[in-house]
Structure 1
Amino acid sequence: MSATATTQVFPSFAQVYQGLAGQIGMLREMAPQPTKSDEQRLKGAVDTLIEDTNADEAVWLESCIHCGQCTTACHYFQSMQDAKYAPMRKMDLYRRVYQREISPMRWWHRLVSKPVKLSDFEEAKELIYDSCTECGRCTMVCPMGIDTASLVHHMRSAMVAAELVPPELAALRMEQKHQGTVFGSSPDKLKEMIDTIREQAGVEIPLDKASAEVMVLSSAVDLVANGNGLLATAKIMNHLGVDWTICSDGFESANFGLLSGDMTLWKQQADPIVAAAQRVKAKTVVIAECGHAYPALRWNPMLRSGELPFEMMYMSEFLGKQAKSGKLRLKPLEQRVTFHDPCKTGRRGGAFDEPRAVLKAMDADLVEMPNNKEYNWCCGGGAGIFLLQDATELRDESFKIKIREVNETGAESVVVSCASCRLNFESGRQKNHWDKRVESLVELTAAHLIDDDESAAATSAQGAAQ
């Protein structure tokens, strides 16, 4: 049974992908142009790296022994077999800035190396954005423990200062920064979607309750493209009898501050969510199926000053905990499936058991990929790369690794719990005429809920049999 077969209220995800792809195609025309002089842009980039470099970054920049182990773990290098995509190469420019500006031997490096130019940052743009999803797989195999993903993120912050953000991310960054929306996903759009779900599907979604134990986040993908995600979430929360709400002043999971490297915007998007959760006295905040929102909210560096009075939990974690407790009652899933672990919630977050607990509650025939859990290959579309036209070839070639891995399982469907992963899988499925279905974990769960009548019938049948 397909998750999308349970309702006709919204289009299929294949149609959603086509519509969203059209909107993404228009982003390049909306991108802002540089406003500063080249000298100001270069100084801003260098100053940003200097400010971001603490003890951890300095150790990582000093420690690389150029062993090449990281290349075995990088999906872009493995798919392209081009040395320039080796993860260690992504640190080269950052290391030059560090060596010349703040390293203990900077006096020597200034004698033997050339000054950094704006053109160096322009040349590094492909490595920092197009060819790194910040998945963290290279860190797992690095004998020196270098966190390349964190260094890449600092480089993205420098690119923001240099006004070198790719046009697609730049357009969405500016929309979110100045309008507070992503693809127009405003509070009005949220209310409109909730009204549609109530009227056409008969499912209630509590909006802006004064207090609630659980506050649920949505995303732009739900509001402007795929209403099935929000509908499925509502069905599950109501099925569980959860005291929950969505807040119109703190609902957007997507954070283009994180994706672009704009730390100010990162905080600007996180603060209203925290404030809304505190206002309604939520004990749990559930992040929508939006992979990058997990680190943007759960480990937001702007929140380190104090302990949050609520638990921040990803959707798959929440569902898994409910399944393990026996509260989530699900019908059998009559197909063989495999599960794709999103990099941000899996390898970098450790949420492996929970989504599998949900599939176990469905008695699913789950077959793991050859590389799974912390060793799972990235799908190639994370960290905003799914949006980037210039990254198309890299993204498409690296996705073939996932095709091979899924095919080895013999599964009919691959289950994902991240909207970016799902979009990238759907893109790869259509481009390669792949015969696998791509299912959202939350939509699959909603499609297999056991209602009260079914539960009573099952109990009666069991009693009769005894």
Structure 2
Amino acid sequence: MTEVVTKEELDEAFAMFYGMAASIKDLVSEPVEVSDEERVAAAKRVFLKGIDANLATQLEACVHCGACAQACQFYLGTEDPKYTPIHKLDLMKRVYDREMSPLSWIKKHVLKDITADDLRAQQELVYDACTMCGRCNMVCPAGINIADLVALNRSALSAARLMPDELRYMQEAQAEDGTIFGADEDLFMFRVQDLQDKLGFEIPVDKPKAEVLLLTSGLDIHLFRDATGGAIETLHHMGIDYTLRTDAYEGANFGLLAGHEPTKKMLTEKLTKVAIEIGAKIVIVPECGHSFPAMRWGAAESVGHSVPFTAMTVSEYFGKAVMEGRLKLEKSKEKRVVALHDPCKVGRGGGVFEEPRAILEAIGWELHETESNRAYNFCCGGGAGNFLIERADKLKRAGYRIKMAEIEKTEAQSLVVSCGSCRMNFEVGKVKAGDTLPVESLAAIIAAHLPKKEKAEGEAA
């Protein structure tokens, strides 16, 4: 693989990006003044609209066994009972009990109505102390989907204009021009040209028709250029009919993270319409955990009908190609022991487990699994936009420590990830904790092990 970014360049870019991310809170505009009554009314409208028969059954099903607490990094890292996952649904449960439950005619006289102060207190529980990783879902004996219910809580707080400042800034900026961290079309094309110069071949941009639409993200454009470069080099090597598009390159969706439904739908719809227009059969989302659910399950919803493409992650697409024999990788000259982090939305949510492991096996690296892996894998501790929230720093570190302790026990020489947000959180966590374990992109690893002879023949053709 042609080195698209050196370690020195990555370190410099990371320092710049970390400083930029840390300053987001100072850039937030003054919030629109909303009365407490309006906040409560807006939140309740979201709750009452979102609680259908299925969610009502789940809210009734909890027996307060406490199993979910043992699945949550934030509870395990702090041992504070307020971070028990099911407790994060108490406010919504109160609205349901008072206004929708079979005994609401009695309970409305017994339970107090929610207040704006209740909503403000809820911010920490559903934004700072929850990444909606879904690990608690796996252990709940009643089958309650706590992560989805937390997402509904985020939507209610968004409607009440009580998002954390950092996520509000990101959501509003992306709603305005479709970009994040200032990664506009000019910067996107600058990065494409830079990659083109380093890789030595023309990168297809704005093809009117293509089998595969490749997305990237502002995080990769600014920082993890090796991930985007790795995906591009591998697609080129395989001879895939693909394109990037200047009108549909940003895969991140801060509407989804912030709980702002209009922005979430708008961003997904924009990408979906371009994919349909060019006749794409596959949309490859970047190494970005939340872009995966936004497109995998949100595409059809955004346009109101089924879509003619499948959204896949980098690890899934190339992993399947390896498993099916369509992509051959060279064995590494280095015998390395590695740990693998399964991103929550991609792994636990999407079932993508064997594909990244097939890639590591193909290159001959020895995978040492963490004690909790695959569906029960711990979150990186900073997903769902949490890594940007300054006030959540102590909680993030507690979550990170739980995960890193398992990684350290593997005695791995490096950690392999396939999500930029996870990678960012591990890098920030390392800085805070003084850890030194290298964190590597799976996409970059794939490109580094493309067969040299076949690669040369493919380029000559």
Q: TM-score, normalised by structure 2?
A: 0.95
Which SS does the other structure have where 1:439 is aligned? strand
- Map residues 138-217 of structure 1 onto 2, 5 A cutoff: 138-217=136-215
Which SS does the other structure have where 1:34 is aligned? coil
Within 1, Cα distance between the matches of 2:338 and 2:198?
Answer: 31
1:460 aligned residue: none
- Map residues 33-432 of structure 1 onto 2, 5 A cutoff: 33-300=31-298, 302-303=301-302, 305-333=304-332, 334=334, 335-432=336-433
Within 1, Cα distance between the matches of 2:4 and 2:276?
Answer: 34
Which SS does the other structure have where 1:359 is aligned? helix
Gaps of 5+ in 1: 457-466
What's the CA shift string for 1:330-366, capped at 9, x where partnerless?
A: 2223211111100001011100011111111111111
Percent of aligned positions that are identical: 39
337 and 420 in structure 1: CA distance in 2 versus 1, 3 angstrom threshold? same
Gaps of 5+ in 2: none
1:38 CA drift (Å) = 2.1
177 and 327 in structure 1: CA distance in 2 versus 1, 3 angstrom threshold? same
1:35 CA drift (Å) = 3.2
375 and 92 in structure 1: CA distance in 2 versus 1, 3 angstrom threshold? same
Within 1, Cα distance between the matches of 2:109 and 2:89?
Answer: 21
Q: Give the conservation status (yes or no) of the 8 Å contact 1:11–1:226.
A: no
Q: Give the conservation status (yes or no) of the 8 Å contact 2:158–2:258.
A: yes
Q: Give the conservation status (yes or no) of the 8 Å contact 1:291–1:342.
A: yes
- Amino acid in the other structure paired with 1:432: A
1:83 CA drift (Å) = 0.4
Which SS does the other structure have where 2:284 is aligned? strand
Does the alignment pair 1:19 with 2:16? yes
Which SS does the other structure have where 1:6 is aligned? coil
Q: TM-score, normalised by structure 1?
A: 0.94
1:432 CA drift (Å) = 2.0
Q: Give the conservation status (yes or no) of the 8 Å contact 1:340–1:416.
A: yes
* Superposed CA RMSD: 1.8
Which SS does the other structure have where 1:56 is aligned? helix
Moved more, 375-384 or 321-330: 321-330
Within 2, Cα distance between the matches of 1:402 and 1:14?
Answer: 23
Which SS does the other structure have where 1:370 is aligned? coil
- Amino acid in the other structure paired with 1:434: D
Moved more, 428-437 or 313-322: 428-437
Q: Give the conservation status (yes or no) of the 8 Å contact 2:5–2:226.
A: no
Within 2, Cα distance between the matches of 1:331 and 1:305?
Answer: 44
Moved more, 331-340 or 79-88: 331-340
What's the CA shift string for 1:71-124, capped at 9, x where partnerless?
A: 110011001000000001101001011111222211211111112111100011
Q: Give the conservation status (yes or no) of the 8 Å contact 2:369–2:410.
A: yes
What's the CA shift string for 1:239-267, capped at 9, x where partnerless?
A: 11111001111111100110000111111
Within 2, Cα distance between the matches of 1:360 and 1:292?
Answer: 26
Q: Give the conservation status (yes or no) of the 8 Å contact 2:4–2:195.
A: no
Within 2, Cα distance between the matches of 1:304 and 1:424?
Answer: 33
Moved more, 96-105 or 156-165: 96-105
